[in-house]
Amino acid sequence: MMNKEFFKRLTDAHSWLGLIISAVLFVVFFAGSISLFRAEITQWSMQPHFSVSQGDPLPLSEILASAIKGVPFDAKEHLSVRMPEEHMPYYRVYVDVEHQPDEEDHLAFFIDPVTGEKIAEIDRFYLSDFIYYLHRDLNLPYGKYVVGFVSLFFFFALISGIFIHARKLIGSFFKYRSKDNTRSKLLDMHNVVGVMSLPFTLMYAISGLIFNLVIIYQIAFAIVLYKGDQQALLDDAGYEEVIVEWLDEAWQQPKIDSLMQQTTEKYGSTPTFIRIYNYGDESAVIEFFGAGKNSLIDKYEIAYQVKDETVLFTKDLDNPNTLVIGLHAISTLHFGNYAGFDLRILYFLLGMGVCALIVTGNLLWIEKRSRQRHQSLKTLKFVRNFTLWGSGGVVVATAVAFVCERLLPAGLANRETFMLYSFIATLLLTAIILIFNDNKKHFLGHLLTLTAGLLVFVIVLDWAMFAKSISLLWQQGIYGVIGTQIGLAIMAIIFALSGHKLTDENVNKTEEEYDSTLDKATSTN
Amino acid sequence: MWSKSIAAIIGGCLVSISVMLNLNYLLPLTVDSRLFIGLLTAFPLWVTTMIYCYASKSGWQAWQRCGAILLVSVSLNSFFLLT
C-alpha cells in the first residue's frame, strides 16, 4: 500500500494543508507560548502601579462583603473569587451585576487582602488575557472552532509528517547540513524540530482538539446514545450544576470562613477558586475548587449549603469520575502547570520550536514552488507575503502591545481598547509596508530587529516610570516584574541575533551564491 | 485536493463518530471511562481516516473508501441500537 504514489499524495497534502493553516497556527503557538507566563505578565502589567500591603489577610467573608460594596450586585446570580497566588498578591473577584441585555453582566476587581480595598478593575490590565484569548480563539467570535479545525489539520500534518519522514527517522536524526544550500538547511531544521518536538506537538494537537471540537461528539452522543437527553449525558460526564431557588430570607450568621477552613483541612490545600450562589439569602450555596498534592490528576470540587454546612456534592479522587479526572489531566498537561517554572521554560522553547517548524515549512514550500516553471508568480508572492505577515507581523504587533500596556496610565478609561487597537494597527501597517517591499528576507530581519528594540524600550520604560516601585517589590520578595523583564531581555537578544542574521549581507551573499551554483549544476544535468 | 479534503473532513468525522459509538457499546467499562476513551480515540480516528482519504487518487476514491468503512461501522451501530 505504501508505494511511491502514497508518499507523493501525502507529501502534497502535508505541504498544502500545512501552508493553509500556517498563519493561524503560528499565532496560536506564538501566543500560547507567551501565555505560559500569563500570571507573570499580568503581575508585570499591574503591580508597579500599586503597592502591596503588609499585615494579616482579612477572612474570605470580609473580602466578599467588600467586593459587593458600591456595585449593583445581582445576588440571585454568582459572586466568584480567585484566591491570591504566587504571582498575584490580590484577590480577584467577579461580581455579577444587574444589567440590560446589551450591557456587561459582571464587574471584576483586584482586592487588597489586608485592607479589603478595591485596587483596580481587572479588565484594565488586559494584555496577558488578550494574548491568551489570541491563543484560544484568536479573539474572534466562533474563533474557537477555527482554532479547532486548524488543530485537526495540524494533527494531520504531524501524522502525515511521520509517514513521510519515517524511513529516515533514525538515520537522519542528527543530520543538519549547515554548510549546504538553503533548501537542505531548511529541510533539516524542519525535520529535526518536527521529530524532537513530536510528543509535545501530539499532546497539543489532541488536547487542542478536545478543548475546541468536543461539541461534535457531545452532540452525536446526546442524540444517538442518550436519545436527546443532554442532561443525562452531562450527569454521566460528571458535570454538576448548582441550581438554587431564591427564598428571599436573609441568611443568619453564615459560616463561610469555617467552611473555607474545613475544605482546606479536608484536602490539605487552600481552594483556588470559590463561587457563591444566592449570596446573602438563606438558600445560599458555596462551591470550592482546588487542586490536591498530586496536581496532575488530583483536583477537587465541593459544594455546601451555607445555612447548615451540608455537603451538596463532592467531586474528588474519593468520588472519581474518569472523564473529569482525565480532562483535568489533559488540561494540566496542556498548560504545563503540573511542575515548576523550569517545565514552563521547556514548554516555551518547544512552542517557539514549533513556530520555527511552521515558518521553515512555508519557506520550503515557497523554495520548492519557485523552482517550478509552471508555478504562478502571484500565488508565490501571496504565500511569501502571508507567511511574513503571519509570523513577523504578529511578533512585532505583540511587542507594540507590550509598549502600550506599559505607557498607558492605569486610570485611563478604555485602556484595554487602546492596547488592542495598537496591536491591530501594527498588523495593518506591517501588511501595507510588506506589499511595497521587495526584499522579504531583509524585511523579516528588520521586523525582528524592530521587535528587539521595542522589547528593550519596554524595559527602559519600566525603570524610567517605576524604578522606585520595582525596587520596593524586589525587596518585598515579589520577583514577577523583574522576572518578566529578564524574559523580555532574553527574547530581545534572540530577535536581534535572528534579525542580524537575516539582514547580514555577507551571510546572504554566500548562501545566494551557493544556491545559484547549485541551480546551474541542476539545470546542466 | 478540495474534493479529497471534503471527504477527509466530513467522511472522517462520520467514521470517527460511528466507530466511537461502537466502542461505547463494546467496551466492558463504566460509562465515564467509556466516554473518556471515546474522546481520546475519536480525533486520532478522524485523522487516520483523513490520511486514508488524502492517500486516495481522487475525491471519488476517498469517498468510496470512507463509504466502505462507514457501511460496516453504521451496520454495527444499527445492530447495537436495535438489539
**Domain-embedded: residue A102:** yes
Neighbours of A432 (CB within 10 A): 9
**Owning domain of residue B7:** 2-82
Residue B32 to residue A324, Cβ atoms within 8 A: yes
- Does B6 score more than 70 pLDDT? yes
Residue B47 to residue A152, Cβ atoms within 8 A: yes
* A97 lies in the same domain as A192: no
- pLDDT value at residue A382: 79
**Domain-embedded: residue A120:** no
* A156 lies in the same domain as A290: no
- Does A516 score more than 90 pLDDT? no
* A431 lies in the same domain as A346: yes
Within an 8 Å CB–CB cutoff, is residue B76 touching chain A?
A: no
| Residue from B24, B39, B57, B61 whose CB has the most chain A CBs within 10 Å, to mutate | B39
Q: Structurally, how many domains does chain A consist of?
A: 2
CA distance A294 to A111: 30
Last residue of a domain, one of A320, A350, A372: A320
Nearest alpha carbon to residue A414 among A126, A201, A190: A126
- Does A519 score more than 60 pLDDT? no
**Domain-embedded: residue A355:** yes
List, in sequence order, every beta strand (DSSP E) within A129-266.
none
* A143 lies in the same domain as A193: yes
- Does A295 score more than 80 pLDDT? no
**Domain-embedded: residue A65:** yes
Last residue of a domain, one of A265, A285, A320: A320
Find out whether A131 and A416 touch, Cβ atoms under 8 Å.
no
DSSP A21: H
- pLDDT value at residue A502: 81
Residue B54 to residue A10, Cβ atoms within 8 A: yes
Handedness of CA A248, A252, A253, A256 (dihedral sign): negative
Give the Å distances, CA to CA, from A299 to A107, A267, A344, A482. Answer: 27, 9, 20, 32
**Domain-embedded: residue A3:** no
Three-state SS for A310? Answer: coil
Q: Which of A119-128, A310-319, A361-370, A457-466 has the lowest mean pLDDT?
A: A361-370
- pLDDT value at residue A373: 65
Instruction: Tell me chain B's radius of gyration from C-alpha atoms.
Output: 14
- Does A452 score more than 90 pLDDT? yes
Residue carrying C-alpha cell 486610570: A411
Find out whether A408 and A418 touch, Cβ atoms under 8 Å.
yes
- pLDDT value at residue A525: 41
> Which is more confidently placed, A49 or A514?
A49
Which residues lie closer than 8 Å to B5 by C-beta, 6 or more apart? A17
> Which is more confidently placed, A491 or A187?
A491
Pairing mode of beta strands A299-305, A311-315: antiparallel
Neighbours of A355 (CB within 10 A): 21
- pLDDT value at residue A173: 62
Give the tens place of pLDDT for each residue, A241-259.
888 999 999 998 899 999 9
Average of per-residue pLDDT across A415-427 = 94
- Does A521 score more than 70 pLDDT? no
| Identity of residue A448 | L
For B46, the closest of A16, A152, A214 (CB atoms) is A152
* A393 lies in the same domain as A257: no
- pLDDT value at residue A340: 83
Find out whether A156 and B47 touch, Cβ atoms under 8 Å.
yes
**Owning domain of residue A465:** 12-46+131-207+336-519
- Does A284 score more than 60 pLDDT? yes
**Domain-embedded: residue A110:** yes
Residue carrying C-alpha cell 497566588: A85
* A465 lies in the same domain as A485: yes
Give the tens place of pLDDT for each residue, A215-226.
999 999 999 888
- Does A498 score more than 70 pLDDT? yes
Last residue of a domain, one of A320, A351, A374: A320
* A69 lies in the same domain as A185: no
A505-524 and A480-503 helices cross at what angle (nearest 10)? Answer: 50
- Does A518 score more than 60 pLDDT? no
Residue A155 to residue B47, Cβ atoms within 8 A: yes
Within an 8 Å CB–CB cutoff, is residue A5 touching chain B?
A: yes
Residue B35 to residue A236, Cβ atoms within 8 A: yes
Q: Structurally, how many domains does chain B consist of?
A: 1
- Does A178 score more than 70 pLDDT? no
- Does A125 score more than 90 pLDDT? yes
> Which is more confidently placed, B80 or A276?
A276
What average pLDDT does the structure give for chain A? Answer: 87
**Domain-embedded: residue A331:** no
Share of chain A above pLDDT 70, in %: 91
* A350 lies in the same domain as A437: yes
- pLDDT value at residue A320: 81
Within an 8 Å CB–CB cutoff, is residue B56 touching chain A?
A: yes
**Domain-embedded: residue A119:** no
* A365 lies in the same domain as A501: yes
For A217, the closest of B8, B17, B56 (CB atoms) is B17
So what's the ipTM on this one?
0.95
- pLDDT value at residue A180: 56
Q: In which band, very low, low, confident or very high, does the pLDDT at A2 lie, cut at 50, 70 and 90?
A: low
- Does A4 score more than 90 pLDDT? no
Handedness of CA A92, A136, A291, A341 (dihedral sign): negative
